[in-house]
Structure 1
Amino acid sequence: MRRVAALALPALVVLAAEPLYVLVDTAVVGHLGRTQLAGLAIGGSVMSFAVWLGTVLAYGTTGRAARRFGAGQRAEAVEEGVQASWLALAGGFTILIVLEAAAGPLTRALAGGAGTVATNAEHWLRIAALGAPGLMLGTAGNGWMRGVQDTRRPLYYVLAANALSAALCPLLVYPAGLGLIGSAVANVTAQTVVGLLFVRALMTERVPLRPRPAVILHQLTLGRDLLLRGAAFQACFLSASAVAARFGDAALAAHQIAIQLFFFTALALDALAIAAQSLIGAALGAERVPEARALARQITRAGLVAGGAFAGLVALALLAVQPWFGADPEVYAQARHAWWFFVAMMPAAGVVFALDGVFLGAGDARYLRNLTLVSALGGFLPGIWLAYLLDAGLRGVWIALTVFIALRLVGLLYRLSSDRWAVAGAVR
């Protein structure tokens, strides 16, 4: 467990930095009013497209880099990061162009029509989209560095960028008078700075920086399965925001508070998944299959313990949420509906996130894709639209999220009980 902790603790800080900044951002904007907070909820849901696409790239890169690193091929592991960075740059500019073209229709569709909320969301999104290239480069950099078990430099890079942004956000929103736009400018600043820092890290490694189509093609093949899996997640979370919006501004603002806290705890728990990717990938790359299986069991137990601990913290946090995120009593009352489902799902979520890392490190992306699609199409999406039809409010939205986690837990434990995921070799 010492090796797991040595990788997981720095990764925890890196993972927590971005959602912690989003929580700060949410708190700052929350004091502007409910329509601004609801606009941030809609714009942030759309911008999360870039975040999950970057996460797909990072996870695929970590697994491939870790296998090569475990096989004693460090230079080749870093070259995986070079090719991932080319993909990241192309993807970032593509996202930027698409979001600038579609910001208006997207935000109006999610907000349930034109209005103040949709206008706020569109203005925020058009500025925030400028950070997509830097965001993508940063996630690719995190991916290859985790693969070679270098967690120190990503820690410094992400903390520096997010500290700068956290300081800028309240200054731009209030004294500078930019309001909600100031929040978007602060986001873009952090994402661009961190992207440039990871590019600098690659340049210091003294490996060839030219694109290699064959390696990029292999990464795209792996990315296809992770992309479909990520698309299922995004369909779930975008649907959750869309349904919450149809229950009113207060419900949507409360959902923004609850879902951002969910993302924060999920990414914090995902530190175990990152350690699992690196260690499982390295063990299988070195053809130490029994070690990989033992690590998988240890990480599963650690996920359960961490999830239980977060459940306790989330339960206690309910008392403090209202002063953090504004004083609107209706928003606070709506948030309470989601809270206890959030608490109940945490232990299961800890195991789910840990096992995601195990199977990503093993390169078992196809199974993860299939499981996520089944859980989303067979559980979450029918549940959330049924909640809308039955007028179940925010409580119904969070029941559907809990079912989604439960279905994934069952499928992952079933896969762990077999030996089909533990395939040895430098590249799967």
Structure 2
Amino acid sequence: MVCTYQSIRCIRNAFKKDELGLEIAQIALPAALALMADPIASLIDTAFIGRIGPVELAAVGVSIAVFNQVSRVAIFPLVGVTTSFVAEEDATTKMADEELEIGDIKFPNEIKELLSDSDETGHSLSFSANISTNSVKTEIERKHIPSVSTALVIGGIIGLLQTILLVFGARPILNIMGVKPDSLMMTPACQYLTLRSLGAPATVLSMAMQGVFRGFKDTKTPLYATVAGDATNIILDPIFMFVFKLGVSGAAIAHVISQYLIAVILLWRLLRRVEVLPPSISDLQFHRFLKNGFLLLARVIAVTFCITMSASIAARMGSVTMAAFQICLQVWLTISLLSDGLAVAGQAILASAFARRDYQKAASTASRVLQWGVILGLFLCLFLGGGLQFMSKLFTNDADVLHLIHIAIPFVALSQPINALAFCFDGINFGASDFAYSAYSLVMVSIVSIICIMFLSSSYGFIGLWMALTIYMSLRMFAGFLRIGTGSGPWTFLQNFP
């Protein structure tokens, strides 16, 4: 296969300190840290709540699973298309701005230097140059990119709808998830889910803005905002939970405050860089967003259904099993997000490369991202294999919960290389705007995975759940490999590569 040959041939260049490697690292590292920040905050919530008791831990586990999966349905399509579209429009704008336009006259880039030579050309030219230079700087600082305004409008609407759904449907949704009305988990689970849902508009908007910054290949700004918000969450958690004695409600309130802080910081930074208000309604790109967004919506629903079904089955097995499953799932997803940072870098760089028709860079970027994904996955496998047994005691002291966690360690650890490649392939295909294939392939993967989840969980219980999740991620990896590996779709140009 084309992709396999090129990746093996260039594996010695995985850590080559060239321009491409530096660009990937500068995008991937902050992106990974930002992606991990919120799950880490949830892990800290889990650690604090675990000190209250296993019932509250299991209740919050179900609530977090519901909120995160609903959020994924709302956020993932929006962020996915926003990153690609902003990267494409930004690359196209830069190509168009290679010549400086003043009035009706276009000057090559070299003329910019002449405009600043006021001493040799006199006051009149100096005055004109200053105006021209300032106007250029203003244009650079505040770009007009229609995808930005569209993403914020759609994000605001989706966030409000998510809040309404979860506030008024908390109990029925929790019941579907396996929490019975007479269960001890119902009250704390409903309290946590209802309060945390109030932060949904901020969560969706902040993620939409993160998609914009990723499109600009700027992942540092979202990182700073996320760290500031989650640090606030960590500080407020024990204050609301134990000082004010609000319990699980305190944890939810702290999280909501942190989400609004993140949204405010990102909006402040975005207003300095982009014209957020569109010139007219017709300037918005609703059709383009909705067309590709619905494809990714089908994809994320399929993905969400697998995870949600697993959590629901674990909840039906009892509070101890659900508590163990929640801890393992949070660690599994949090650590895997390091690989998702590579996917973000691959998507942003590839979207820009395809917009410029720079297929050589597209091929090199895909190859390098996959190489790093393999290496990172192996490292995470070793890290979790040796450390999760000790880290699990940070979340609970319950002996039964710890026993189940130790059983799941081999699956959580050994699946990391598979997860890394699956996430990297997602980012690569998104960067090529191959949304249709990503959607259809994941629907097929999820159908097979759901069958595995039902059969293996009924036959092997808790272990069966993790066997099924490992199969699910393996199928995701294969689906991603099939497209680029065979050089089909947007990757047909690979067939002409030596």
User: Normalising TM by the smaller chain, what interval?
Assistant: over 0.9
Answering whether residue 439 of structure 2 is matched by residue 369 of structure 1, we say: yes
Tell me the equivalent position of 1:33: 53
CA contact (8 A) 1:85 1:140 kept: yes
Tell me the equivalent position of 1:174: 242
Tell me the equivalent position of 2:24: 4
Q: Matched residue of 1:116: which SS?
A: coil
- For the structure 1 residues 105 and 224, does the alpha-carbon distance in structure 2 shift closer, same or farther, using more than 3 Å as the test? same
Between 1:123-132 and 1:49-58, the stretch displaced more is 49-58
State the 1:284 CA deviation.
Answer: 0.6
**Structure 2 counterpart of 1:383, from 445, 449, 452:** 452
- Could you say which structure has the larger radius of gyration? 2
State the 1:409 CA deviation.
Answer: 1.5
- The one-letter code sitting in structure 2 at the alignment partner of 1:4 is I
Gaps of 5+ in 2: 1-20, 95-139, 494-498
State the 1:293 CA deviation.
Answer: 1.2
* 1:44-94 superposed Cα distances (whole Å, 9 cap, x missing partner): 111111244213211110011111222235877743122101110000000
**Structure 1 counterpart of 2:396, from 326, 333, 347:** 326
**Structure 1 counterpart of 2:43, from 19, 23, 30:** 23
CA contact (8 A) 2:40 2:334 kept: yes
CA contact (8 A) 1:307 1:346 kept: yes
Tell me the equivalent position of 1:209: 277
Q: State the alpha-carbon separation in 2 of the partners of residues 323 and 125 from structure 1.
A: 25
- Taking the TM superposition and a 5 Å limit, the aligned residue runs for 1:114-125 are 114=181, 115-125=183-193
- Taking the TM superposition and a 5 Å limit, the aligned residue runs for 1:116-265 are 116-210=184-278, 212=281, 214-265=284-335
- The one-letter code sitting in structure 1 at the alignment partner of 2:47 is A
Q: Matched residue of 2:285: which SS?
A: helix
Q: Matched residue of 1:71: which SS?
A: helix
Gaps of 5+ in 1: none
Tell me the equivalent position of 1:310: 380
Q: Matched residue of 2:36: which SS?
A: helix
- The one-letter code sitting in structure 2 at the alignment partner of 1:283 is A
Q: State the alpha-carbon separation in 2 of the partners of residues 208 and 176 from structure 1.
A: 40
CA contact (8 A) 1:362 1:423 kept: no
Tell me the equivalent position of 2:124: none
Tell me the equivalent position of 2:165: 98
CA contact (8 A) 1:284 1:362 kept: yes
**Structure 2 counterpart of 1:70, from 77, 91, 98:** 91
- The one-letter code sitting in structure 1 at the alignment partner of 2:79 is A
Q: Matched residue of 2:52: which SS?
A: coil
CA contact (8 A) 2:392 2:405 kept: no
State the 1:199 CA deviation.
Answer: 2.1
- The one-letter code sitting in structure 2 at the alignment partner of 1:347 is P
Identity among equivalent positions (%) equals 26
Q: State the alpha-carbon separation in 2 of the partners of residues 263 and 322 from structure 1.
A: 15
Under a length normalisation based on structure 1, what TM-score does the superposition of the two structures give? 0.95
State the 1:387 CA deviation.
Answer: 2.8
* 1:218-256 superposed Cα distances (whole Å, 9 cap, x missing partner): 111111111111111111111011111122111100000
Count of residues in correspondence between the two structures: 422
State the 1:205 CA deviation.
Answer: 2.6
CA contact (8 A) 2:332 2:412 kept: yes
Tell me the equivalent position of 1:289: 359
State the 1:311 CA deviation.
Answer: 0.6
Q: State the alpha-carbon separation in 2 of the partners of residues 128 and 36 from structure 1.
A: 15
Q: Matched residue of 2:489: which SS?
A: coil
Tell me the equivalent position of 2:153: 86
CA contact (8 A) 1:17 1:158 kept: yes
State the 1:337 CA deviation.
Answer: 2.3
Tell me the equivalent position of 2:80: 59
